């Protein structure tokens, strides 16, 4: 019988909760350590399944890895493999960061095409095009991405059709050791892009402009390990807990945050009538009355993040009037609406937008998470609902949220894994 998350709704969340390291930075920084000719030490890594998956993968490749209490030491010098078996990587989208890193270290890589949350068809054409323009021979037939450096491997101009997070990171991971200059145009600007660039620069890379839409890279022949690096706090965990605080009419302090990463969500919560204040690395969320209905459209950073679309939609189901959540990044990121409606919400999907009729309250139910952030949406809904909810599909939640049950219980929620 697989684990489920049991939540009795109604408790106000109150108190202080620490934010963990960023999943989407961690899953780029850990493979980046492969590029070093000496060990790297990485701090503030979240205790989540995706990090443990990378520990297994790096050990399989021949690296020495120790990971405990959020700190990982990676010594890549023993790596003597460039191929990975299906079962190690097919669940995680970030596994394709191993392509440019193994290709730089070993001359070639063979990595099964990445898995990841089923929120759309998740193509990899932008990465393939970028690596090709840098002078790699890339083949993706048979469900494996095979990449090999050719004699022309070197800096190039890379134009991204869309500001893809994964393609921006993969291009950086390849170009940092490609002789000459690489310029990435229309690059993604998410905080975890900047964190990955900062980590690579701490290894001796020469990357300028990360966080803007044009990134310039001077290739270097060798990278050393990063002596000590601290991963940034998780923007999406921060947002999810801010939403949960508002959803329970609570009063919560989130510590160890970067408030500027949260500006688009903060603006939307203020528009709903939630009180949000921030000082230094603390964000204070206090719900002071009925929530107003709003309209939200997801966009690339610094716009409203698609990863918070699902938890915020859950919050928006309770209130007076009509709201709308429009998803512009992924084609199929609303599968959880049926589950919310089973809890008493009144949401319809039309042209990749959730049309919401506010209801007075939600009711606990047995529901199933279909992806990581859908799981987060169901947790938010269950915290708001009257009665008990049982959420299955918790393996998704454990991939991306460090001890979410402990953190919410510490704030007063009636929640447990059973």
Q: Which residues contact ligand EPZ (rule: CB under 6 A)?
A: 23-24, 27, 93-94, 117, 120, 122-127, 162, 164-167, 188, 306-307, 329-330, 372-373, 400
Q: How far is the CB of 55 from ligand EPZ (least distance, A)?
A: 16
What is the phi-psi region of residue 226: left when phi exceeds 0, alpha when psi lies from -120 to 50, beta otherwise?
beta
Q: Quick one: three-class SS letters along 205-246?
A: CEEECECECEEEEECCCCECCCCCEECCECHHHHHHHHHHHH
Residue 194 has, within 13 A of its CA and on its CB side, a CA count of 13
Question: What tokens does 396 get?
Answer: 């998704």
Residue number with CB closer to ligand EPZ (262 or 365): 262
The answer for residues whose C-beta is within 8 angstroms of residue 338's C-beta and 6 or more apart is: none
C-beta separation of 138 from 162 below 8 A: no
What length is written for the chain? 418
Q: How far is the CB of 200 from ligand EPZ (least distance, A)?
A: 16
* Dihedral Cα 223, 224, 227, 231, nearest 10 deg: 30
Run of H or E including 157: strand 157-159
Q: How far is the CB of 211 from ligand EPZ (least distance, A)?
A: 14
**Residues identified as active-site:** 117
Residue number with CB closer to ligand EPZ (51 or 382): 51
Residue number with CB closer to ligand EPZ (236 or 318): 236
Q: How far is the CB of 320 from ligand EPZ (least distance, A)?
A: 30
d(CA 357, CA 407): 31
Residue number with CB closer to ligand EPZ (119 or 318): 119
Q: How far is the CB of 58 from ligand EPZ (least distance, A)?
A: 17
Residue number of the CB atom closest to ligand EPZ: 166
Residue number with CB closer to ligand EPZ (127 or 287): 127
């Amino acid at each position: 019988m697989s684990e489920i998350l049991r939540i009795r709704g109604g408790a106000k969340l109150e108190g202080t909760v620490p934010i963990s390291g960023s999943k989407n930075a961690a899953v780029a920084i850990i493979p980046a350590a492969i590029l070093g000719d000496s060990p790297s030490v990485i701090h503030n890594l979240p205790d989540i399944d995706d990090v443990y998956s990378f520990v297994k993968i790096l050990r399989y490749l021949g690296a020495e890895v120790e990971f405990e209490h959020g700190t990982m030491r990676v010594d890549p010098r023993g790596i003597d493999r460039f191929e990975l078996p299906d079962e190690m990587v097919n669940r995680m989208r970030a596994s394709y960061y191993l392509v440019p890193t193994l290709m730089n270290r070993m001359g070639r890589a063979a990595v099964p095409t990445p898995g990841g949350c089923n929120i759309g068809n998740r193509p990899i054409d932008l990465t393939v095009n970028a690596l090709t323009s840098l002078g790699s021979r890339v083949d993706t037939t048979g469900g494996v991405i095979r990449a090999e450096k050719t004699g022309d491997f070197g800096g190039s101009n890379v134009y991204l059709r869309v500001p893809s997070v994964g393609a921006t990171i993969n291009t950086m991971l390849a170009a940092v050791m490609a002789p000459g200059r690489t310029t990435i145009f229309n690059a993604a600007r998410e905080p975890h892009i900047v964190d990955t660039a900062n980590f690579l620069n701490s290894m001796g890379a020469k990357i300028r402009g990360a966080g803007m839409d044009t990134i310039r890279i001077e290739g270097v022949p060798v990278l050393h390990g990063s002596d000590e690096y601290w991963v940034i706090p998780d923007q999406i965990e921060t947002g999810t807990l801010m939403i949960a605080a508002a959803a329970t009419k609570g009063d919560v302090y989130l510590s160890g945050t970067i408030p500027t990463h949260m500006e688009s969500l903060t603006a939307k919560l203020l528009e709903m009538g939630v009180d949000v204040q921030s000082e230094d690395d603390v964000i204070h969320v206090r719900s002071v009355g009925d929530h107003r209905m709003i309209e939200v459209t997801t966009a690339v950073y610094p716009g409203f993040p698609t990863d918070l679309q699902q938890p915020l939609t859950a919050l928006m189901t309770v209130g007076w009037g009509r709201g709308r959540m429009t998803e512009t990044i992924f084609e199929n990121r609303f599968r959880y609406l049926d589950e919310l409606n089973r809890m008493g919400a009144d949401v319809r999907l039309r042209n990749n937008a959730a049309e919401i009729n506010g209801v007075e309250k939600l009711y606990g139910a047995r529901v199933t998470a279909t992806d990581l952030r859908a799981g987060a949406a169901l947790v938010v809904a269950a915290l708001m609902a009257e009665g008990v909810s049982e959420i299955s599909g918790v393996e998704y939640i454990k991939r991306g949220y460090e001890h979410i049950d402990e953190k919410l219980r510490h704030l007063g929620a009636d929640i447990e894994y059973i």
